[in-house]
A and B are shown apart, each in its own frame.
Chain A
Amino acid sequence: MLVISCIKQVPDTTQVQIDPETNTLIREGIPFIVNPYDTHALEEGLSLKDRFGLRPVALSMGPPNAEATLRKACALGVDDAILLSDRCFGGADTLATSRVLASAIEKLAEQEELGIVFCGKQTIDGDTAQVGPGIASRLGLQQLTLVDRIVHLDLEKKRIRVRRKLEGRHEIVEAPLPVMITVVRELNRPRYPTVPMRLEAEDVMVKTWDNSVLGLDVETVGLKGSPTWVSKIFSPERDQGEIIGDGINDPEGTANLLIEKLLSKDLLAI
């Protein structure tokens, strides 16, 4: 039974800055990382391999250099890694992205029964949290979002019970397989690749599927298939902060300064 983890290569957003003139992201020299939530999606797939013998596959849509992301997944132990890359996939919004991913998943499911599709809760660059649900609705899968624990997996009855992490409460829900699950970080602790696995992964062939494999209508993918587009990116204006006093050598004096400051700005009432 297949368990597919969707992983996206994202720029390390702690390091992304916005060009004040063009209002676009400065991407040069920014290292790419695996979307942090997706490392948990990947780990869960791997742990189902360890526990139930399911076959974990990593799937990513992105430019050719996203191969590095999949290579890392290989080092961690997925059975298969597939990069969906084609010029016509570029510039996709969430609709077009989920269409391509869904089509690839469908193709994989032709060969082997599909059990679970894991996605991250959201990405740290796009932040929409729409791709997972998009895949599910396109494929007609049950969708369980914000999962922080898999309570029970019954492969005989083909049912799964999970815990969802919601604001201030948890919800236990059950659904029949196949399902799409989006995961939060509490779900698991990602494993760290051993050196032999890393070295093995160095010359693993990551499969690349372009649109000749998927055969999608080019009008429905990439920029052309994207009804939404980003018109402007900007950092909200914020007052410049300032450092007052010397908190290490004079904590008391600094605290007094701070209180005065807050009082003078009417931010503190006595």
Chain B
Amino acid sequence: MSINQTIYIPLFAVSVIFFCYSCYQRLQLISLGADENRSDRPIERLAGMFSYAFGQKRVVKRPFGINHFVLFWAFMFLLLANGEFLIEGLFPSVSLALLPDPLHHVLAFIFDMVSLLALVAVVVALSRRLLFPPSYLSNEYTSARSGEGLLILAMIAFLMIAFFLLHGALIGLGDSAAYRPISAIFASLLAGQSTAALQSSATIAWWVHAVVLLVFINLLPRSKHMHILTAIPNTYLRSLDKPNIIPRESFAKGKRFGVGVVEQFSWKDLLDSLTCTECGRCQDLCPAYNTDKPLNPRRIVHDIKANLLQNGPALKNGEGKTLPMIDLAQNEGTCSEEALWACTTCGACVNVCPVLIEQMPKIVKMRRHLVQEKSEFPEELLNLFENMEQRSNPWGIAPSDRGKWSTQLGERPFEADKTEYLFFVGCAGAFDTRAKQVSVAVATIMDLAGVSWGMLGKEELCCGDSLRRLGNEYVFDKMAKQNVEMFIEKGVRKVVTACPHCFSTLKNDYRQYGLELQVIHHSELIETLITGNKLKLPKTTDMGKLLFHDSCYLGRHNEIYDTPRNLIKAATGSKPAEFERNRENGFCCGAGGGRMWMEELNGSRINQNRVAEALKQKPDTLCVSCPYCMTMMEDGLKELNAPGVQVKDVAEVVAEALRL
């Protein structure tokens, strides 16, 4: 078989040039984005890249992920095979056959087997798409383009079949069949054909393979299969911070705040948008999407991409934009304000994305723009913002009342040399009737175990969590600086919090202000007290069937899943029952991201969705680890009329076991 090079070489050259041009165009679009440093800690980045990209760590968490794993690795091997194929077309004498025999034979065997695996994986993927697609695979944008997915799969199938036919024909023409068992089967299908017929079969198979391969390569940068090119670098360039930590803003005149137009996103945000595989996993877990809010994290990513593709060329030439990034109504390429306000910053999307796209930070960046540059936000938030700024708590209660919950405990001031822990009570723990009981439980447990602790009392300020997630970075920045200054001045080093939001803010967000504190959630403290034998539980308590609800800010944002469960086991004698959606896949209570202070006007209620899930198991107790979850679960139980179920914080469960 010989290849007509006068046709192949120009075809190859045009394809390569066109491919490079497409990639260059995409890179140019990405470079429109704002600066962001993603090259620090290279070892950590490499390690992550190996496990997320090459190990497909997140991909394989879903059953069909295994299929993708097979395809991914088949691609890796076939990269070599196809590289050889394309080069051999240019220089017929250059091929892997030049390698020493055993190695060449092993490679031939591997390529044959891997091609078969790829073919099987493609058939499985095709059947899934056509016969039993999961609901999250499509939405109104992607189903319009589902033909693209099918086309790509079909092309891969064609490539494999052409590969086998080619080698089958070559075997018929005298190649050895020993190392190509699958091609040998194809050879037997061709058996009996004349040499000339075999020659032309081989030539046809070769050309089909070549043309499909070149078209495939050129489709990549122009479709969602761009991820084949960008996913691996994207995992390397992932955020090494906690998922909800976004770079600070600097407040100087003439600066812009947040993201109101596409080029204000960082280059990494833009790369993310081109990397989305449209797998739909984020949509599947999103509490807002699942309760019919106008938010879908995947759509946010998609809209950024669509906006970039539409506005990018004009931007590159320094012309104006035509498509708004944020508007009242949602359109392809434009996010609606309503969608942006629906996010609870639960982090499920960020946590599940197989290619490490950071959806939620993009939402918060756009909120920053709305609050700080446009003063556009749901009207309930005006009160919250004023209360936070003037009285440093969300309810606007007099700061002088902050210490009132603890009057029975006597004066418990924090003094740097005398007290080990600062108990950072938090606004809920100090002002919310129900959460105050949890504060008392935590304080009592610490006293029983002989922990040395103190509080800031009236001087304690709000940590600013809600403000930051709502995009009011300016006021958050002021509050964070005040807090950091106070912690340093008072010599605080170790902090216990009774709220995952204070916990995460003090621990992760304040690090951006140069404050390294040892912050622990009360469940962590209690666990160390029990394992260190400082706290002995005289008996176990019976709380009936107890179901544990993961707080997003303790779980997904800080990866504390086992600690509260261990405490429950210690206090009740048995492990808690689990929600259907638990741990990493847990479902938000609906209060995070400042949603606690907003009306829930669209769709159904997130807390009711979660409580309904709990009630299926007929629990007696719902155990939480967060004051917001407490409020949302209690409200949900009332709204769904389930009076028999009690909601307890994990500290209260332990306190119950301590009660003699």
The residues of A with any CB-CB pair to B shorter than 8 Å are 12, 14-15, 17, 31, 33, 189-196, 198-200, 248
Contact = CB atoms under 8 A, between A and B. Distances in A.
Contacts of B375: 191-194
Contact of A31 (B251, B390, B396, B474): B390
A225 B122 CA distance: 92
A196 B397 CA distance: 29
B252 A194 contact: no
B382 A192 contact: yes
A190 B390 contact: no
B400 A17 contact: yes
B253 A199 contact: yes
Given A192-B385, A194-B373, A12 B474 contact: no
Interface in B253-281: 253, 257
Main secondary structure of the interface of B (DSSP, over half): helix
Contacts of A14: 391, 396-398
Interface in B367-404: 371-375, 377, 379, 382, 385, 390-391, 396-400
Contacts of A189: 379, 382
Interface in B437-493: 437, 474
A178 to B, nearest CB: 30
B253 A12 contact: no
Nearest to B258: A195
B474 A195 contact: yes
Contacts of A196: 253, 257, 373
A195 B390 contact: no
B433 interface: yes
Lowest 8 A-B CB distances belong to which pairs? A195-B372, A14-B398, A15-B398, A192-B375, A195-B474, A199-B253, A194-B375, A195-B257
B576 to A, nearest CB: 21
Given A14-B391, A17-B400, A33-B390, A195 B251 contact: yes
A196 B385 CA distance: 17
Contacts of A12: 390-391, 398
Given A194-B372, A199-B253, 14 more contacts: A12-B398, A14-B398, A15-B391, A17-B400, A189-B379, A191-B375, A192-B382, A193-B375, A194-B373, A194-B374, A195-B257, A195-B372, A195-B373, A199-B252
Contact of A198 (B390, B400, B433, B474): B474
A12 B397 CA distance: 11
A15 B252 contact: no
A221 B379 CA distance: 42
A199 B251 contact: yes
A12 B400 CA distance: 11
A136 to B, nearest CB: 29
B401 to A, nearest CB: 9
A77 to B, nearest CB: 11
Contacts of A33: 390
A187 to B, nearest CB: 15
Nearest to B249: A195
Interface of B: 251-253, 257, 371-375, 377, 379, 382, 385, 390-391, 396-400, 433-434, 437, 474
A195 B374 CA distance: 9
A13 to B, nearest CB: 9
Given A14-B398, A194-B374, A248 B437 contact: yes
B434 A248 contact: yes
A15 B374 CA distance: 32
A191 B376 CA distance: 9
A196 B252 CA distance: 8
Given A31-B390, A195-B474, A190 B253 contact: no
A171 B200 CA distance: 97
A15 B437 CA distance: 24
25 contacts: A12-B390, A12-B391, A12-B398, A14-B391, A14-B396, A14-B397, A14-B398, A15-B391, A15-B400, A33-B390, A189-B379, A189-B382, A192-B371, A192-B375, A194-B372, A194-B373, A194-B374, A194-B375, A195-B372, A195-B474, A196-B373, A199-B251, A200-B253, A248-B433, A248-B434
Contacts of A194: 372-375
Contacts of A17: 400
A28 to B, nearest CB: 12
B424 to A, nearest CB: 21
A243 to B, nearest CB: 10
Contacts of B257: 195-196
Contacts of A31: 390-391
A193 B400 CA distance: 27
A198 B399 CA distance: 25
Contacts of B396: 14
Given A14-B391, A15-B398, A31-B390, A190 B252 contact: no
Contacts of B400: 15, 17
Contacts of A198: 474
B79 to A, nearest CB: 49
Most buried by B among A189, A195, A200: A195
B656 to A, nearest CB: 11
Nearest to A200: B253
A208 B379 CA distance: 34
A80 B369 CA distance: 27
A14 B437 CA distance: 24
Contacts of B390: 12, 31, 33
A12 B392 CA distance: 13
Contacts of B251: 195, 199
B652 to A, nearest CB: 10
Contacts of B434: 248
A21 to B, nearest CB: 18
Contacts of A190: 382
B534 to A, nearest CB: 28
Contacts of A15: 391, 398-400
B253 to A, nearest CB: 5
Contacts of A195: 251, 257, 372-373, 474
Nearest to B458: A29
A129 B190 CA distance: 102
A260 B660 CA distance: 30
A38 to B, nearest CB: 14
Contacts of A199: 251-253
Contacts of B399: 15
A123 to B, nearest CB: 16
Contacts of A200: 253
B15 to A, nearest CB: 49
A198 B371 CA distance: 13
A31 B251 CA distance: 24
B273 to A, nearest CB: 26
Nearest to A249: B646
A90 B548 CA distance: 61
A14 B385 CA distance: 17
Contacts of B397: 14
Contacts of A192: 371, 375, 377, 382, 385
A213 B290 CA distance: 65
Nearest to B399: A15
Nearest to B372: A195
A17 B257 CA distance: 40
B365 to A, nearest CB: 14
B643 to A, nearest CB: 10
Nearest to A198: B474
Nearest to A34: B390
Contacts of B382: 189-190, 192
A202 to B, nearest CB: 8
B377 to A, nearest CB: 8
A17 B372 CA distance: 35
A31 B387 CA distance: 12
A17 B391 CA distance: 16
A198 B475 CA distance: 11
B201 to A, nearest CB: 70
B230 to A, nearest CB: 34
A173 B399 CA distance: 42
